[in-house]
Structure 1
């Protein structure tokens, strides 16, 4: 594990893709695996449709090895790296927040973390056919409607991918009020966990009382609001401990804790070990 990085690298789209969308079909023969093998994040959403072959990668400390037709979604906050590949051919869609349908953005927050899902039959055909249309749209000669057309086509592909993931959970119409509130809290938490640490602050954002928010979240997840806030912060702390050489005190400050001893106690409670123990345990 490299320790010469002050923070986790964030990969952005190349300057030539200022429109915020890249879609292409590639084989791993022309994929920059060496660059992608170092742990990093993106400032865009990354969708992969592997058509054939085998790829092994790691997302937030969890290793995945996918074989054959599979779809993968990587959220901008997730730290990941590609480890190895064999005869893989895939379609990649890179798209930033500004180009995603607002409803899809919220739904993507709900499915994170999302494990890879196998593809077959009509669904595989629908995704590869739609992706092929996206690639053709990207290759068109730019005109006044070029970006709008490309964005609409790529959102159609995102909708297909999302639908596949959402089939694995209950349909929206079957969610209880508790689950609906809990999902809204999760979306808000992902956006605000560095600056907001108190349940009452999230209740205010959702226009409900702190007690009702806690009741809903507890019923839906089995955990309190405070516990989920702390869990999300500690996940970010683990990412920084594992992938950067920042001190524990620097990480605490970056995550919004002026009280370093308090942060240390929270880390130990959630992780079951001290921050330094976690770092040392995960040294190569």
Structure 2
């Protein structure tokens, strides 16, 4: 079944052979790309059919989702909301596992690693996918702080989500001149209701703080200091520290360490990369430095963490 014109496949758009699409290069931040193969398949929404600013996809998990890629640990550069109508088994987001049952709402933030482990019943439901910048334009909810997770909405909220999905689909199927604004309003309403269920909505973020968090998430590394990130964002280290701390309650250096720790946990749990390879990916000077860092941040050695949380075994 061909996708309607307003649906852009996040995994195969422009790739007729079914291979995962390659994520586009991030905006130039002055940081040279790493010449390493990614630890996880990374998918992006390509602006090919939609005329909406930023990209948005509203479709079926089975018909418009990633297909067999859903069973393999992967991540995206967009927000993914999954409103399940049927399912079984579990859904792993980073190192947390959630039941994949009907009438559950799953939110995957940009950069999070996730995969589905269905049992007898295939996972299906409504996908709402969009880039973070989609909600910034007219009619949008503005900058958000996305938190991945799962919840079971109340019956009243579930009915409301069903109604919003129908309205979003109707708007995207229409040809009104102002459908961009109306669709963005509706997606913003859907997102706001979902955020209420998954986590308390975060206050709006300062643009510099949001840019810093995005860059650190896209390139978790110990090789770039707070001073260097400040230079690339064209602000002083003092100013960056002030706005990031005010928005998040954490200093930039703490957020850098947390991003590196989280990425290390993801690779230990969902890949067979060796500690030396992970250390190299995160740009540590040597594997022993990485091991000391990881133990200091988590209280566990990398090998102990992998034994406890790993889902794959080396061949």
Deviating runs (4+, > 6 A) in structure 1?
184-187, 199-203, 212-217
- Tell me how far apart the structure 2 counterparts of residues 216 and 88 of structure 1 sit (CA, whole Å): 36
- 1:252 to 1:186, Cα distance in 2 relative to 1, 3 A: farther
Which residue among 48, 53, 63 is the counterpart of 2:97? 63
* 2:162 is aligned with 1:128: yes
Deviations 1:152-209 (A, max 9, x none): 322221122223334x47x96xxxxxxx99xx97984454353655599789557387
CA contact under 8 A between 2:209 and 2:240: conserved in structure 1? no
For residue 267 of structure 1, give the secondary structure of its aligned residue in structure 2: helix
For residue 77 of structure 1, give the secondary structure of its aligned residue in structure 2: coil
- Tell me how far apart the structure 2 counterparts of residues 209 and 48 of structure 1 sit (CA, whole Å): 35
- 1:51 to 1:225, Cα distance in 2 relative to 1, 3 A: same
1:45-64 equivalences under 5 Å are 45-54=79-88, 56-64=90-98
* 2:189 is aligned with 1:151: no
Q: Which has the higher strand share?
A: 1
- Tell me how far apart the structure 2 counterparts of residues 127 and 206 of structure 1 sit (CA, whole Å): 43
Which residue among 2, 6, 9 is the counterpart of 2:41? 9
Which residue among 101, 109, 114 is the counterpart of 1:80? 114
For residue 91 of structure 1, give the secondary structure of its aligned residue in structure 2: strand
- 1:13 to 1:227, Cα distance in 2 relative to 1, 3 A: closer
Deviations 1:69-92 (A, max 9, x none): 222110111000011052655211
Q: Which runs of 5+ in 2 are unaligned?
A: 1-36
Between Structure 1 and Structure 2, how many residues are aligned?
260
- My pick for the range that moved more, 123-132 or 64-73, is 64-73
Q: TM-score, normalised by structure 1?
A: 0.70
- Tell me how far apart the structure 1 counterparts of residues 56 and 210 of structure 2 sit (CA, whole Å): 26
- Tell me how far apart the structure 2 counterparts of residues 40 and 213 of structure 1 sit (CA, whole Å): 28
* 2:73 is aligned with 1:36: no
Higher relative contact order (CA 8 A, sep 6+): 1
For residue 207 of structure 1, give the secondary structure of its aligned residue in structure 2: helix
Q: TM-score, normalised by structure 2?
A: 0.64
Which residue among 128, 132, 135 is the counterpart of 1:100? 135
Q: Which runs of 5+ in 1 are unaligned?
A: 173-179
CA contact under 8 A between 1:33 and 1:82: conserved in structure 2? no
* 2:253 is aligned with 1:239: no
- Tell me how far apart the structure 2 counterparts of residues 15 and 269 of structure 1 sit (CA, whole Å): 42
Which residue among 41, 45, 56 is the counterpart of 1:21? 56
Q: Which has the higher helix share?
A: 1
Q: Which residue is 2:296 aligned to?
A: 269
- Tell me how far apart the structure 1 counterparts of residues 141 and 278 of structure 2 sit (CA, whole Å): 31
- My pick for the range that moved more, 79-88 or 256-265, is 256-265
- Tell me how far apart the structure 2 counterparts of residues 96 and 185 of structure 1 sit (CA, whole Å): 18
